[in-house]
Amino acid sequence: MKNFLEAPYLIEMVRTTTNMYAHGWDERNGGNISLLLDEEQVADYVDTSAVIRTIPTGFKAPELDGKLFLVTGTGKYFKNVQYAPEVNLGLVRIVDGGETAELLWGFEDGGKFTSEFPAHMMSHVARLKVNPANRVVMHCHPANLLAMTYVHSLDEREFTRTLWQMCTECIVVFPEGVNVLPWMLCGTNEIGEATAEKMLTARLVVWSQHGIYGAGQDLDETFGLIETAEKAAEIYMKIAHLPRVNTITDEQFHLMEERFGVKGREGYLS
């Protein structure tokens, strides 16, 4: 059996959590990541028949029965993942219609998965319906996106258009736009269900006054989605109080659509 710490996806998870902390997106134990893995990716590194312990999930997700996830732990600091991944990360298998997680590796201090696990799993269910290649759900607290939710309308069309107008690349990176939730109590099934519903139409969901959820095919893509939206929000927060002399027009957005073979969300451009 190979060393799980040398698995490529484990190494990439460590790099990603470290980078997210360095960006200031994941203060203290803020933020979480879950990565869907195939049995064949895991088989050489972990005996999947050896269950360390079981953990109740508190929700139902029969669509995920038997699926494996590498996930960050509750109360764990992203800055510490690189030093003790076996404590701060865990590999779990979903069973019993989603109501139980079998721990196969990690959480060696007796911990368990993030408190946002329901929101992650529900978002995975939603994104797999839209695109079976989507395997990552990532949550963090980028400062400028949070700030934007205090001073900008939360209307999804207006919020998206503002972000698109801040950086030329935005409509290419997230042509489906950004969905937005009003403030909701975190760590609940209710916010998980609301986030999953939003995930059916966009890979980015802003939690007002809290953070953002992103989904993608791999850790790089998902990180890049959030990174791009956060850069746009940073530019907005720098200029929001100033008169806007120039902007990217809808005609120019259409040129971008043609050039890069993307289509902005229906009804968001004139």
pLDDT above 90 covers a percentage of the chain that reads: 96
Q: CA geometry: angle at 54 spanning 38 and 116, to 5°? A: 70
> Does this chain's domain 1-114 share its CATH topology with 116-270?
yes
- What distance in Å separates the CA atoms of residue 164 and residue 157, rounded to the nearest whole number? 10
Structure confidence at residue 126 (pLDDT): 97
Structure confidence at residue 187 (pLDDT): 86
Structure confidence at residue 51 (pLDDT): 97
In this structure, are residues 136 and 221 in contact, taking their beta carbons and an 8 Å threshold?
yes
Domain ranges of the chain: 1-114, 116-270
Tell me: domain 1-114, CATH 3.40.225.10, correct? yes
Structure confidence at residue 198 (pLDDT): 98
Structure confidence at residue 32 (pLDDT): 95
Distances (CA, A) of 23 to 31, 79, 159, 229: 12, 11, 23, 14
Please write the tens of the pLDDT for every residue from 84-130.
999 999 999 999 999 999 999 999 999 999 999 999 999 999 999 99
As annotated, the active-site residues are 116
Q: What residues of the chain score a pLDDT lower than 50?
A: none
**CATH fold for domain 116-270:** L-fuculose-1-phosphate Aldolase (3.40.225)
In this structure, are residues 212 and 186 in contact, taking their beta carbons and an 8 Å threshold?
no
| Exposure of 266 in the CB half-sphere (CA atoms within 13 A) | 1
